[in-house]
A and B are shown apart, each in its own frame.
Chain A
Amino acid sequence: MALPRMAPGWRLAARVALAVFGGYALASAFAMAVPPLLPASLAQAVLAATLAGFVVHVLAVLWTFTQTDLRRASAGLLLPALAMAAFGLLMRGPGA
C-alpha cells in the first residue's frame, strides 16, 4: 500500500466529511446539470432539480457509509460531481 493506513478515528472523520461535503458537492452538481435536461421552463427546471438535490444528498451520505474503501467512495462521489458540474456550466444560457 502506498499510503500508510490512517488511524480509525481519522478514517471515521474522513468518512463523515466525505459524506457531508462530498454528498453536498454531488447534490449541487445535480442541481446544476439537470435543469437543461428537463422539459419545463428554466425557472421551474431549476426548482425541480434543487428539490431533488436534497434526496441526492441523503442517498449519497447513506452510500458513503456502505463503502469499505474510502478512496473508492471519494471517486464515486466526486467524479460524477465534477462531470455533472462541467455539463451544467457548459449548458448555461446567455442570461446567467
Chain B
Amino acid sequence: MNDALSAANAPKQASGAGLRQSMAWLHTWCGLWFSWLLYAVFLTGTLAVFEDPISHWMTPEHHAEEAALEAASAAAVTGTAGADRGQRLARAVAYMAQHHATQDMWEIWPADANGGGELRAYWFDAERRYVMARLDPATGAPLPDAAPAGPVRGTHGGHHFVDFHYTLHAGTAGLWIVAIAAMAALVALVSGVISHRRIFRDFFTFRPHRGARSWLDAHNAVAVLSLPFQLMIAYTGIVFTATLFLPAGVMTHYGTDAGARVRHAAALSSPVPHARTGRAMAVPDLEPFAARAGQLMGQPVRAVVIDHPGDAGMRIGVYGWNDAPGLERRMSATSGMVAFSPEGEVLHVRQPGGAGDGAASFTSQVMGNLHMAGFGGVSMKWLYFLCGLAGTAMMGTGAVLFMVKRRAARTDGFGAWTPRMHRVIEALNVAAIAGLPIACVAYLWANRLLPLSIGQRADWEQGMFFAGWALALLHAFVRPPSRAWRDQLATLAALCLLLPLANALTTGDHLLAELARGDLESVGVEATCMVLGLLAGIAALRVRPRAAVPARAASGRRAAATLDSPGGAS
C-alpha cells in the first residue's frame, strides 16, 4: 500500500498485481478520508441498537410508571378485543367529520392490542405535518395532553444516537452525507477484500508488539470477522430511502414533480389505484371492516386508515398490531394489512410479515428490519452490538494503521504538506476514536448533572455531546499525539467507570438496587459502560510516550512504530 498513488494513475494492465495495487490504493484513501465519519456513524449506530434501554436509564423518574404499564398489559385479559371497538371507531369518525372533514386521510387507532388503552386519531394538517388527537373512548371528546405526575427529565434519550447515526442531527443534508459515507464504506470494504491475497490465512494471523504489523493484523481480524455484517449494514442503511438517493427510476416512470415519490410509495402498497370520484358518500360503519380484516390477517386491529373520506372513491385500509413473539420470528416487521372498497369488497391482503405487496417491497422491508435488528429478540441485539463494535474497531484500527505505517516508513503522500497533513490526521484520529466515545458518555453524564428545571433541557444534553466532542478535538490539536491519546483514553475510562457513581449520587439508584428489582435494562447500560471504560483504561496504560523522532535508520522505524500506538489490538 506504499503510496500507490502513482499505481492508481497508471495501473498495470489487468494483471492480478495491478488490480490488487489499484484496489489497495482505493481502499487506503477512500478508507482514510471516510474513516472518522464512518467510525462516528458506526459507534452511535451500535449504541442505537440499545435505544430503549438507554432511554429507560435516562428517564429514572418514569421507572415506576413503566413497570406499572408493563404489569397492566401483562395482566390484561385477552379476548376482550372488539367489545367496544365499534363504538370507539364511530366516536373517532364523528370527531373527524366534525373537526377535520376536509382532510384527505383519516387514521384512527381504536385501541391497544388488548382492546383497551387510548383512542387516537391522526391526520395531516395544513402544513402536511402528521398530527394526532387523543379522544375520550367513552365520549369521543378530545382529551387535553396529560400533565406529568412527577418531575420530568427532559431528554432525547437513546433516540439521540439513532438520529445522529443517520442524519448527524443535520436533517436532509446529514442524511445525504451519511449515505455518501455508506457508499464509500461499500467501496472500501470490497476494494479491501480484493486487495487481499490470503484473506483466510491473514484472519488467523496475529503478531503482537510488532507495530504496524500488529495494527494490520488487528484490522484484518475485526474486518473479516464482521465483513458480512458491515456489508449488510451499509447497504441496508442506504436502501431505507433508496428513491430519495437514486430518484431517476421514479422520475422517469412517475414524473419529476414533488409528489412523484409519494405516488410511487402509495402504488407499492396498493396495486389498485384509487382516486376521488367527486361523488359524495358517507363514511360507513367501520366495525364490520375491522372485524373482517382481523380475521383475514390474524392480528388485532391497530389502525383504520380512510383515504378520500366522504367520497365514493374512498379506500379503507386496516392494519394489525404486531406482537413480540411474531416480530422475533419474522424477517419482515411489516404488520398485516387489508384494503377494502367502501362497499366492503376486499381489494388487497398482506399477511403479517408477508410478501403480499410484491417481491421488491418485501425485500426492502426485510432489509430495513435486518438493519434495525427487528427480529430475534435480545440475543440478536447483543450480536448486533458486538458486530457493531467490531466494525467500529475496524474503522478505528484502519485509521491508526494509516498513521503508524507512515510514521514507520516515513513516506510522504502529500509532498511539502506531509508533516502538516500527518499532524491533522493524527489529531483527527484521536478526536474521532477516543473523543467521540467521550462525547457519548458525556451525554449520559449531562443527563444526570443538568438541573431538571432548565428550559430546552433535552437540547442542552445534546449540546453537551457536541461540546464534549469539540473539546476533544481542540485537545487533540493542542497536545502532542501520544499525550493526547493517553489523556483522552484516561478521561474516557474515568467517565465510563464513574458513571454508576454519578447515578448513585444524583438519583440514589445503584447497580445492586437495580439488580434487586430486576431492572436489567439499567444494569445493562451501567455494566456495559463500565466494561468499555475498563478497555479504555487498559488502552490508556498501554500508550507510551513517543521516543524523539528517530533517524531514518531501520531500527528507528521499528521503534517509532512500536512505541506510539494506543494499546495493542484493543
Write the residues of chain A forming the contact surface with B, with a CB cutoff of 8 angstroms.
Answer: 8, 11-12, 15, 24, 27-29, 31-32, 34-35, 40-51, 53-55, 57-58, 61-62, 65-68, 85, 88-89, 92-93, 95-96
Contact = CB atoms under 8 A, between A and B. Distances in A.
B372 interface: no
For A28, A53, A96, the residue with the greatest tally of chain B CB atoms inside 10 Å of its CB is A96
B268 to A, nearest CB: 5
Given A40-B359, A54-B239, A46 B250 contact: yes
A89 B239 CA distance: 24
Given A62-B191, A68-B13, A51 B242 contact: yes
A58 B185 CA distance: 10
B463 interface: no
A50 B26 contact: no
A85 to B, nearest CB: 8
Contacts of B239: 51, 54
A57 to B, nearest CB: 7
B246 interface: yes
A43 B271 CA distance: 8
Interface in B359-399: 359-361, 363-364, 367
Interface in B318-364: 357-361, 363-364
Contacts of A66: 11, 14, 18-19, 22-23
For B249, B250, B252, B358, the residue with the greatest tally of chain A CB atoms inside 10 Å of its CB is B249
Given A40-B360, A44-B361, A50-B243, 18 more contacts: A28-B246, A32-B249, A34-B249, A35-B252, A40-B358, A41-B267, A41-B358, A44-B357, A46-B249, A46-B264, A49-B249, A50-B242, A51-B367, A53-B248, A62-B26, A66-B19, A89-B252, A92-B252
Interface in B221-272: 235, 238-239, 242-243, 245-246, 248-250, 252-255, 264, 267-268, 271
Which 7 A/B pairs are nearest by Cβ-Cβ distance?
A31-B249, A28-B248, A43-B267, A44-B358, A48-B360, A47-B360, A44-B360
A40 B361 CA distance: 11
For B25, B190, B358, B360, the residue with the greatest tally of chain A CB atoms inside 10 Å of its CB is B360
Nearest to B18: A66
B186 interface: yes
B30 to A, nearest CB: 9
Contact of A58 (B9, B183, B246): B183
Interface of B: 5-6, 8-14, 18-19, 22-23, 25-26, 183, 186-187, 190-191, 194, 235, 238-239, 242-243, 245-246, 248-250, 252-255, 264, 267-268, 271, 357-361, 363-364, 367
Interface of B is mostly: helix
A38 to B, nearest CB: 9
A46 B26 CA distance: 31
Nearest to A67: B11
18 contacts: A15-B8, A28-B248, A28-B249, A40-B358, A41-B271, A42-B267, A43-B267, A46-B253, A46-B254, A47-B242, A47-B364, A51-B364, A61-B26, A61-B187, A62-B187, A65-B8, A65-B23, A88-B249
B246 A54 contact: yes
B11 A68 contact: yes
Contacts of B5: 8, 12
Given A12-B5, A43-B268, A35 B253 contact: yes
A45 B364 CA distance: 12
B26 A57 contact: no
A62 B8 contact: no
Contacts of B271: 41, 43
A32 B191 CA distance: 27
B190 A62 contact: yes
A34 B9 CA distance: 33
A31 B358 contact: no
A8 B253 contact: no
B249 A35 contact: yes
Nearest to A49: B249
A29 B9 contact: no
A43 B264 contact: yes
B17 to A, nearest CB: 12
A24 B5 CA distance: 23
A51 B236 CA distance: 10
Nearest to B10: A68
A48 B250 CA distance: 11
Given A31-B248, A66-B19, A12 B187 contact: no
Contacts of B6: 8
Contacts of A93: 253
Contacts of A49: 249
Contacts of A31: 246, 248-249, 252
A62 B19 CA distance: 10
